[in-house]
Amino acid sequence: MGPIQAPGAYTGAANVIAVLILLIEFGMFRQALFRDQVRLYAAQSGLIAVLAALVAATRHLPELYALAALTIALKVVVIPVVMTRLAPAAEPADDLDTGAGADIAGTGGLSLATTVLIGIVAAAFGIFAARAVPVNSAAAPTTALAVSLSVVLVAFVLMIHRRDVASQAVGLFSLENGISLAALVVAASLPLILELALLFDLLLAVVVFALLIRLHHGRAETLSTAGLTSLRG
């Protein structure tokens, strides 16, 4: 067996970015303030934009530069601003840090350690499952595809674990980041018009979720969805 060739700079950078996106997803589990979860989502989206620019420069796909710019404008700037301004505060009215400072601590259905372990199992399953899929792409390393599937599964764990509507919204948005990461791996040359449609749908979802958060808090005076279990048939 010959010597194992070390990965190139592009492959290594793409894999590091993908792993950082996954680590940020795990970081969302321990956040006690909605503001901090939104900041992590913005950082995660920024890494998606960096990866898009990296793929554009390496694979000579200039349309991905436009995608990177749109990602920064929408997911790093617009969505965090919309969410922090429309989400109601769970703190008293005299709290100056309204909206973004909503306390979401203690809304998990399980302990933090147990949830992290479940997330690790889900991430490992995603990595091994992606390895079994015969996908070969020249756009980005296949390792990033495995990590993207892990990001999607861990985002599902976040949405199930946290019983507050704010965290569930952030989990859905970060799940979309995992899908975007997979798209850069599998179909980096996807027509820009389709990417624009996906980003527009995401913006609509953000507005709808933000209004639902405000409506739910206005009626229940809490961001927790635990009381909604009584509505089940």
Q: Which tens digit of pLDDT belongs to each residue from 34-47?
A: 788 889 999 999 99
Give the C-alpha separation, 151 to 23, whole Å.
9
CA angle 184, 190, 195 (to 5 degrees): 85
**CA nearest 33: which of 92, 77, 86, 89?**
89
- pLDDT at position 226, please? 53
Six token digits for residue 176? 């979309």
3-class secondary-structure state, position 8: coil
Taking a C-beta distance cutoff of 8 angstroms, is the pair 30, 156 a contact?
A: no
* Per-residue pLDDT tens digits for 35-87: 888 899 999 999 999 988 988 888 888 888 888 898 899 889 988 888 787 65
C-alpha distances in Å from residue 50, one per residue of 32, 57, 76, 170, 177: 28, 11, 12, 20, 13
Range with top average pLDDT, 146-150, 194-198, 205-209: 146-150
Q: Model's pTM, two decimal places? A: 0.79
Show the beta-strand stretches assigned E in the chain: none
